[in-house]
């Protein structure tokens, strides 16, 4: 072993130790890591070139947007499951309540599909959060009277009822005729524009877009002409999405601040006690039902908000976006990060979105771009049989063609590995003491 090899781990350990000193560094390091992975993946797919810059930013836009969305959901879920031990598997439903309530309040009455009351957007957003909290109350009250597992059944059922109600044409027609607002049923509901879009619909947007457009010298060999070529480094649609994503990140920072304060407080202490042993908390005089109802409503309101910022920012709501799988994705992000840790929830969301959700699709794109695959075989037999002749191309083509189902296989494998090897997730084994102050004994000057 050479000297340099011997010092290498020391440096590496010191670097990791330095990052672990602060939560901010952990989050930023994880983001930087995922950004780096995606930059490499995009370069592998497209090669190096000025146009690649736009694609890299496009990939970053997608993961940052999804990360912000999932981090909001996961933080809310962490309040329910990580802190209080309330098994809410109706996350998607509470998102839907938020989005559709926002739509019913703020969508224009003249919208093509699904009509709203046309109230200002802030009222819609607030209304959406309140509605999600109230639906949470409706779910929590009966479920609190029975044992905890029933909450899971109630929330899952409720979430599906909400999704199916939102997709009901009959219900939509009836509410439109009666109250002047309806969800649009299966054909979906038009939603208000993102409030940040005005920037890029104005001259400010053009001048911002200009900054990211560069002139590249160009030589036309045939005509012996010299000239310039305009290259868009980052397209204005990506820039405009980034502005919205930035708003989401600001909200995420605010929500993170809030749930962290809850975690480090006597309120959070009671939540943890409820998770550990509700009867003990009661025997110490804590009215656990009140705590559970409060935290459940708060979490549901945050899920509604996450829904509004995420699905509600797409200009269109569709009942199919609120399938239970969204709930399970949020749980996976929470389990990866470490249930019970707020920073873990954020880190878990980055890793989930980057490596499990968007990563496989990007890898699939690389394979199809680089290997020049023929048409994918239509059946599994057709994919596997050529392997006998050591021909892997049909199998790869088949795999790339079925990247979405394969993703589920990957998720399952990752979950099994985590639960086996690191059941506390990335950060779940940390001790985040639930108190508003440092509990170390005060040293008296003797």
Partner 1 sequence: MSDATTTPPAETTTETAATPLRVEGLEKRFGGIVAVDDASFDVKAGTVTGLIGPNGAGKSTTFNCITGALTPTDGEVYFQGEKITGMRPEQIANRGLVRTFQIARALSEMTVLENLMLAPKAQQGEKLWRSVVPGARQGVVDQETELRERVWETLEFFEIDHLAYEKAENLSGGQQKLLEMSRAMMTEPEMLLLDEPMAGVNPTLEDKLLDRIHSLREDGYTFLLVEHDMDVIMEECERVIVMHQGSILADGNPDEIRDNEQVIEAYLGEDI
Residue from 169, 277, 405, 416 in contact with partner 1 (CB under 8 A): 277
Alpha carbon separation from 261 to 192, 258, 264, 268, 434 (Å, rounded): 33, 5, 5, 8, 9
- Kindly state whether residue 130 participates in binding partner 1, applying the rule CB under 8 A: no
Q: Which of 179, 261, 379, 392 binds partner 1 (CB under 8 A)?
A: 261
- Residue 217 within binding range of partner 1, rule CB under 8 A: no
Q: Which is nearer to partner 1, 38 or 264 (CB)?
A: 264
10 Å Cβ neighbour count for 109?
A: 11
Q: Which helix (H) or strand (E) holds 317?
A: strand 316-317
Cα distance between residue 41 and residue 358, in whole Å: 11
Q: How far is the CB of 192 from partner 1 (least distance, A)?
A: 29
Nearer to partner 1 (CB atom), residue 211 or residue 280? 280
| Cα angle 162-168-174, degrees, rounded to a multiple of 5 | 110
Report DSSP letters for 390-423, one per residue.
T--HHHHHHHHHTHHHHHHHHHHHHHHHHHHH-T
Q: Is 287 in the site for partner 1 (CB under 8 A)?
A: yes
**DSSP code at position 87:** -
Residue 393 sits in the site that holds partner 1 (CB under 8 A): no
Residue at token pair 């998720």:
411
Q: Residue 76 interacts with partner 1 (CB under 8 A)? A: no
By CB under 8 A, tell whether 280 contacts partner 1.
Answer: yes
Q: Name the phi and psi angles at 189, rounded to 5.
A: -130, 130
Least separation in angstroms between CB 277 and partner 1: 5
442 exposure class (CB count in 10 Å sphere: 0-12, 13-18, 19+):
exposed
Q: Is 433 in the site for partner 1 (CB under 8 A)?
A: yes
Listed ranges 156-164, 291-299, 349-357, 358-366: which one lies at the site for partner 1 (CB under 8 A): 291-299
The CA distances from residue 331 to 4, 211, 220, 443, in Å, are 43, 40, 56, 42
Residues 318-347 that bind partner 1 (CB under 8 A): 340
| Cross-strand partners of 216 | 229
Q: Which of 33, 267, 316, 328 binds partner 1 (CB under 8 A)?
A: 267
Give the interface segment with partner 1, choosing from 5-13, 140-148, 256-264, 319-327 (CB under 8 A).
256-264
Listed ranges 98-106, 244-252, 287-295, 371-379: which one lies at the site for partner 1 (CB under 8 A): 287-295
- What SS3 class is residue 225? strand
262 forms part of the interface with partner 1 (CB under 8 A): yes
User: Which single residue is written with the structure tokens 């063609």?
Assistant: 401
Taking CB under 8 A as the rule, does residue 266 contact partner 1?
A: yes
Residue 240 or 339 with smaller CB distance to partner 1: 339
Shortest distance, CB of residue 433 to partner 1, whole angstroms?
6
Q: Which CB sits closer to partner 1, 128 or 263?
A: 263
Sign of the alpha-carbon dihedral angle for 141, 147, 150, 155: positive
Distance CA 427, CA 390 (A): 43
Residue 202: both structure tokens together: 């104005």
Site stretch for partner 1 (CB under 8 A), options 147-155, 173-181, 394-402, 433-441: 433-441
- Residues contacting partner 1: total by CB under 8 A: 38
Interface with partner 1 includes 292 (CB under 8 A)?
no
For residue 228, the cross-strand partners are: 217
* Single residue of 231, 236, 286, 382 touching partner 1 by CB under 8 A: 286
Among 221, 279, 374, 390, interactor with partner 1 by CB under 8 A: 279
Using the rule CB under 8 A, is 270 a contact of partner 1?
yes
Q: Which residues bind partner 1 (CB under 8 A)?
A: 258, 261-262, 265-270, 272-273, 275-277, 279-288, 291, 294-295, 298, 340, 431, 433-437, 439, 441-442
């Amino acid at each position: 072993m050479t000297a340099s090899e011997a010092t290498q781990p020391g440096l590496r350990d010191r670097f990791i130790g330095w990052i672990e000193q602060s939560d901010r560094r952990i989050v930023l390091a994880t983001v930087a890591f995922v950004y780096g992975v995606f930059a490499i993946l995009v370069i592998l797919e497209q090669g190096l070139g000025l146009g690649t810059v736009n694609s890299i930013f496009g990939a970053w836009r997608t993961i940052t947007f999804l990360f912000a969305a999932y981090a909001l959901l996961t933080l809310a879920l962490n309040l329910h499951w990580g802190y209080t031990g309330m098994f809410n598997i109706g996350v998607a439903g509470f998102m839907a309540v938020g989005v559709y309530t926002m739509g019913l309040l703020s969508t224009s009455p003249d919208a093509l599909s699904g009509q709203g009351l046309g109230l200002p957007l802030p009222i819609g957003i607030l209304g959406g959060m309140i509605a999600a909290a109230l639906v949470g109350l409706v779910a929590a009250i009966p479920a609190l009277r029975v044992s905890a597992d029933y909450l899971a059944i109630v929330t899952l059922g409720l979430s599906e009822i909400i999704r199916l109600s939102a997709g009901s044409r009959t219900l939509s027609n009836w509410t439109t005729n009666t109250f002047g607002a309806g969800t649009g049923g299966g054909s979906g509901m038009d939603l208000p524009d993102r409030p940040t879009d005005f920037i890029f619909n104005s001259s400010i947007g053009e001048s911002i877009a200009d900054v990211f457009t560069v002139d590249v010298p160009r030589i036309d060999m045939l005509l012996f002409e010299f000239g310039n070529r305009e290259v868009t480094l980052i397209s204005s649609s990506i820039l405009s999405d980034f502005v919205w994503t930035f708003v989401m990140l600001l909200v995420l920072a605010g929500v993170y601040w809030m749930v962290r304060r809850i975690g480090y407080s006597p309120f959070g202490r009671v939540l943890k006690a409820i998770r550990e042993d509700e009867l003990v908390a009661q025997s110490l005089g804590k009215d656990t039902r009140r705590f559970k109802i409060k935290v459940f409503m708060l979490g549901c309101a945050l899920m509604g908000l996450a829904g509004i910022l995420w699905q509600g920012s797409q200009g269109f709501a569709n009942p199919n976006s609120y399938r239970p799988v969204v709930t399970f994705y949020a749980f996976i992000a929470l389990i990866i990060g470490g249930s019970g840790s707020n920073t873990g929830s954020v880190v878990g969301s980055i890793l989930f979105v980057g490596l499990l959700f968007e990563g496989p699709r990007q890898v699939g794109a690389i394979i199809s771009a680089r290997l020049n695959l023929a048409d994918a075989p239509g059946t599994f037999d057709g994919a596997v049989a050529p392997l006998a002749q050591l021909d892997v191309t049909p199998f790869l083509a088949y795999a790339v063609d079925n990247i979405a189902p394969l993703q589920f296989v990957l998720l399952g494998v990752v979950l099994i590995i985590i639960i086996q090897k690191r059941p506390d997730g990335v950060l779940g084994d940390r001790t985040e003491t639930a108190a508003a102050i440092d509990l170390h004994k005060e040293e008296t000057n003797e």
